[in-house]
């Protein structure tokens, strides 16, 4: 394990440390992957994109072919905020907080997506980026996928936000559970606690996922058990990226309040400790978990490990029993409104 200090960040920023675990020579293809552990610049999307580019350039400099960013990196994870919500009441301050959060989100497609695509092409990496997506006045916790040629591949919307997240984020549907077949492997993502949904995981396994990205906001030790289980269950590599944040990475009070804990926090208090990790299909930890600060955590993925693991256990293959247990996935868009005139126009164009 080599620790490589960053040299490209401005002097006034905390150093980024890259953990690199070099794989052994193998006849099977090897992919160098990096998970980014770093904080959003909250309410400042242009500055966050600048930071993302610095980190992406750094990872590419270490030879990374795939770079995974945390949940809600662009747009921000509103840790500690309750948006002024109580049952039967929403405060004026909470509504203004949502307005600012909405303003920091991005449209998909949109100029920020174009910039991310340009970054992926510039540094010749496959990019998996956690964002807050704005669709009208509804927000979604989303992951965007880009190839190394700078093309936007598609997105995954979190299908089940957790607890109070449901107040501020909409629910994704079955139309955005993609697994992309790329030259470096089949890549997909599930976000934070939706990784605990067995049927969602099974749908992704059925699509042949090989590099399972798990952007998260969960830094607890228990998260590592979930990631190891998924690697073993799916016979896939698991790349989990989380933010490392201190209180000072969020706006100061009274603009932003950590509900219930603000009085206990100092500017240097850690409010999210990271724990980003890369795990092999055999359950071996290849890099991380890191709880020390912002970091680029990298490992070489021997894709031959997938076949070795599947020989033991293929959850949707030789270890399945479809005559006993099966799954139906409704993978069409679930639109709240459909206009019959638009459908008629489409039908007439086909004829």
Separation of alpha carbons 13 and 247, rounded Å: 15
Q: Which of 33, 35, 7, 13 is nearest to 289 (CA)?
A: 35
Name residues whose C-beta falls within 8 Å of residue 256's C-beta, 6 or more positions apart in sequence: 42, 81, 97, 250
Would you say 203 and 229 are in contact if contact means Cβ atoms under 8 Å apart?
Answer: no
Report the catalytic residues.
71
Would you say 246 and 269 are in contact if contact means Cβ atoms under 8 Å apart?
Answer: yes
Instruction: Kindly tell me the sign of the dihedral angle through the C-alpha atoms of 31, 32, 35, 38.
Output: negative
Q: Which of 21, 63, 58, 117 is nearest to 294 (CA)?
A: 58
> Residue holding tokens 């079955």?
174
Q: Which of 133, 80, 77 is nearest to 102 (CA)?
A: 133
Would you say 235 and 210 are in contact if contact means Cβ atoms under 8 Å apart?
Answer: no
**Which residue intervals of 188-339 are DSSP H helices?**
198-206, 222-234, 304-312
> Residue holding tokens 């890191």?
290
Separation of alpha carbons 36 and 243, rounded Å: 8
Separation of alpha carbons 211 and 57, rounded Å: 22
């Amino acid at each position: 394990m080599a620790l490589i200090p960053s040299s490209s960040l401005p002097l006034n920023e905390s150093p980024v440390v890259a953990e690199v675990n070099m794989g052994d020579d193998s006849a099977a293809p090897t992919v160098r992957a990096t998970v980014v552990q770093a904080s959003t610049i909250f309410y400042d999307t242009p500055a966050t994109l600048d930071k993302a580019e610095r980190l992406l350039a750094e990872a590419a400099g270490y030879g990374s072919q795939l770079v995974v960013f945390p949940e809600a990196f662009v747009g921000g994870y509103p840790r500690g905020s309750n948006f002024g919500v109580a049952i039967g009441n929403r405060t004026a301050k909470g509504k203004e907080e949502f307005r600012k959060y909405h303003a920091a989100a991005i449209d998909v497609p949109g100029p920020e997506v174009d910039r991310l695509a340009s970054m992926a092409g510039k540094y010749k990496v496959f990019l998996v980026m956690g964002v807050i997506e704005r669709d009208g006045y509804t927000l979604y916790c989303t992951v965007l996928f880009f190839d190394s040629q700078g093309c936007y591949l598609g997105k995954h919307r979190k299908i089940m936000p957790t607890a109070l997240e449901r107040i501020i984020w909409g629910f994704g549907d079955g139309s955005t559970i993609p697994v992309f077949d790329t030259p470096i492997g089949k890549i997909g993502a599930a976000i934070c606690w939706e990784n605990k949904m067995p049927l969602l995981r099974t749908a992704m396994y059925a699509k042949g996922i090989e590099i399972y990205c798990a952007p998260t906001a969960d830094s607890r030790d228990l998260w590592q058990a979930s990631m190891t289980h998924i690697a073993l269950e799916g016979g896939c590599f698991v790349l989990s990226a989380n933010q490392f944040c201190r209180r000072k990475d969020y706006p100061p009070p009274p603009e932003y309040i950590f509900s219930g804990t603000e009085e206990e926090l100092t500017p240097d208090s850690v409010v999210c400790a990271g724990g980003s990790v890369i795990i092999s299909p055999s359950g071996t930890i290849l890099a991380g978990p890191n709880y020390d600060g912002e970091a680029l955590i990298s490992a070489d993925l021997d894709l031959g490990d997938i076949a070795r693991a599947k020989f033991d256990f293929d959850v949707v293959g030789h270890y399945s029993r479809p005559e006993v247990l099966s799954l139906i996935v409704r993978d069409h868009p679930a639109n709240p409104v459909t206009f019959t005139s638009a459908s008629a126009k489409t039908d007439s164009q086909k004829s």
